[in-house]
Every structure is written in structure tokens, then in C-alpha cells.
Amino acid sequence: MSDKPVLELRNVTHEYRGRRGIFSQSAPVRAVDKVSICVERSDILGIVGESGSGKSTLAKIMLGLLAPAEGEVLLDGWPAAGMTRRQIAERVGFIFQDPYSSLNPRQTVGKIVAYPLYLRGEGTSAERQERARKILDIVGLPLRFFDAYPNQMSGGQRQRVAIARALITRPKLLICDEPTSALDVSVQAQVLNLLLELREEFNLTYVIISHNMSVIQHMTTNVAVMYLGRIVEMNTSERVFEEPRHPYTQLLLNSTLTVAPGAGVPDLKVDTAAREAMREHPSYIAQ
């Protein structure tokens, strides 16, 4: 069992139905096009791409929120299509981008964190609270926050609550959709460090979706670059960042403004022809 990949996508395709008019229907939009991904235990897979690249749709498919039109999703080697919500939730946790809308403003932190256990009917109320306290301590939140409401906390603290909620049921895989893009730089580092620490502690596997190339470079073992629904390049992190092969990957890396005093902003000149060429360019997928 342990040699099976934690998460595997096989030729997953998803289409959004086109906008329906009274007399016509526009062509369906292929948000995810024949994507195959294999995430081994304790990998950190980064998925990068721009808005409209299909990375958010892909995340929804991984979480089982969307059923793929074609292809299949395997969790620990078992098809996710045959699993109940709860069985999926036991294997996959998630962290959303916006810690302001991912926590119910009417519940206390303690309740929010203990809720997944309640839904599974695990333990008594007191035991659940005890476990919530423990996990809050692990993610570095002082106990005084236990009875606080989310809007009494800063963005970074809220994201810690979201992480605690995701981890309380001990899933093996954590899917993080833009986990730090709503946070300040100084807080971003705290949250990224926490994710790395937790990975050691719980032997976690991550899928991190982000548009921030520096974060992806620092945090991942493997990278998949998505463009218009397809994976155009997939390789180990080192290879992708040292030797980007697909023109779109190169463009993404060139657009990333690293600290370089006086260097100016590179003149990229991406016109429609260049975009068209990128679409036609073959993918580089390392096995």
C-alpha cells in the first residue's frame, strides 16, 4: 500500500459547458485537458500557472469537488470516484487562499478546528476539544485564541487556524491553493516555515498551487507548469528552475521580479503571435 502514489491523476479532462443563449450555445471551454500527475509520498508538487490556466479547476478535481469528465483520480491507488466525501476527506486536507473567507465568522476558533472530528463522530466533545487544543499548539497558536472569533485575528493567525483544521484529522495529503498570496511578506515566511515543519512532523505530502514563482521554487520538489488547461512542463523543481524548456515556463520565470537593484523590468513583448506559438509548442514532461 505504501508504495502506491498518494495522489494520481490519469488523463483528467474537465470542460465547462459554454454559455447558453436562447438559440445557441457557445463552444465548451476545456479548463483541464488530459492532465496526468503522480504525487509520491512526501513529495511537494508545485502547480504554477496564470488565471485561466486551469489550476484552480484541477485543485477542485483533486479535492473531489468536481468530477472529471474523462480520466480518473486515484488516492492511495484507489479510485476517488468510488469514495464517499468522508473517505476522501480522510486522505486529503486543503488550505484555501483567503483566510478571511475560509473561516466561519460566527464560530470560535476552537469549534472551527474541532468540527471535522465532530462530523466524523470521533470521540466525546471533551476529547475533540483536547485534540483541537493540541493541534492549535502545534501550529503555533497560543491557547488564548481557543475561544476567539476569526475576525479578532490577523491574516497569518487565521491561516494557522485553517491549517490546524486541515490537519486535525491527520490526512496524508494537503492541497494548498495559494496558501500565502493573501498574506504580507513577513507573515508569508512564517506560514511557509510552518508548512515545512509540519511536513517533517506528520510526514505530509503537499500539492501547492501558486502563481508566485519564488514561493514555488523554495517550497517544492516537483513542479508542473499549466497553460491553457494543459501541463506544458513537468519536472523536478531544480530542473524546471535551472533549465526551463517550454517557452511559457521561460516567460513565467522572466516575468518574476526578483530583488535585483537597478535592473529594471525586463521587456518581454508577449504578443498574440508569441502566445499562439506557446499554445502550439510541445510539452516537456519528465517521467
Partner 1 sequence: MLLNVENLNIDIATPNGSLAAVQDVSFRVSKGETLCIVGESGCGKSITALSLLGLLPKVAKRTARQMTFDGLDMQSMSKAELRALRGDRLSMIFQEPMTALNPLHTVGRQLSDVYRAHRKASRREAKERAIYLLKQVGISNAAQRLNQYPHELSGGLRQRVVIAMALMCEPELIVADEPTTALDVTIQAELLRLLIDLQKSFGMGMILITHDLGLVSRIADRVIVMYAGQVVEAAPAAELFTKPSHPYTRALLGSVPDPSYPRMKPLPSIPGTVPSLVSRMEGCHFFDRCPLACDACRQPIQLATIDKDHEARCIRVGKGEIRRKVVA
Partner 2 sequence: MTEVVATSVGSSQVTANRSSLLRWLSHGGLMLGLLILFIVVTMAIFASLLAPYDPYLQSLPTRFTPPVWFPGGGWEHPLGTDHLGRDYLSRIMYGAQISLAIGIGTAVVSGIIGTAIGVCAGYFGGKVDSILMFIITARLAMPVVLVALAVVALVGSSLTVVMLTLGFLLWDRFALVIRATTIQLRSSEFVTAAELQGASVLQIIGHEILPNLLNNLVVVATLEMAQAMILEAALSFLGLGVPAPLPSWGLMISEGKDSILFEPWLITIPGVFLFALVLGTNLLGDGLRDVMSPNGRN
Which one of 9, 12, 37, 63 is in contact with partner 2 (CB under 8 A)?
Answer: 63
Q: How far apart are the C-alpha atoms of 115 and 119, rounded to whole Å?
A: 6
Name the amino acid, one letter, at 48: V
Backbone angles phi, psi at 12, to 5 degrees: -80, 130
Q: How far apart are the C-alpha atoms of 176 and 179, rounded to whole Å?
A: 5
Q: How far apart are the C-alpha atoms of 68 and 263, rounded to whole Å?
A: 44
- Residue number, 147 or 276, with CB nearest to partner 2: 147
Which one of 25, 26, 101, 203 is in contact with partner 2 (CB under 8 A)?
Answer: 101
- Residue number, 102 or 237, with CB nearest to partner 2: 102
- Residue number, 195 or 252, with CB nearest to partner 2: 195
Q: How far apart are the C-alpha atoms of 39 and 12, rounded to whole Å?
A: 15
Task: Show the site string, 115-154: x = touches partner 2 by CB under 8 A, - = not.
Answer: xx--xx-----------------------xx--xx-xxxx
Half-sphere exposure for 270 (CA within 13 Å, toward CB): 14
The dihedral over CA atoms of 258, 216, 116, 199, expressed in degrees to the nearest 10, equals: -110
In the complex, what is the shortest distance from the CB of residue 74 to partner 2, in angstroms, rounded to a whole number?
A: 18
149 binds, among partner 1, partner 2, none (CB under 5 to 8 A by kind): partner 2
Could you tell me which stretch among 16-24, 100-108, 127-135, 194-202 binds partner 2 (CB under 8 A)? 100-108
**Terminus-to-terminus CA distance in the chain, angstroms?**
21
Footprint of partner 2 on this chain (CB under 8 A)?
Answer: 63-65, 84-86, 88-89, 94, 96-98, 101-107, 115-116, 119-120, 144-145, 148-149, 151-155, 162, 165, 169
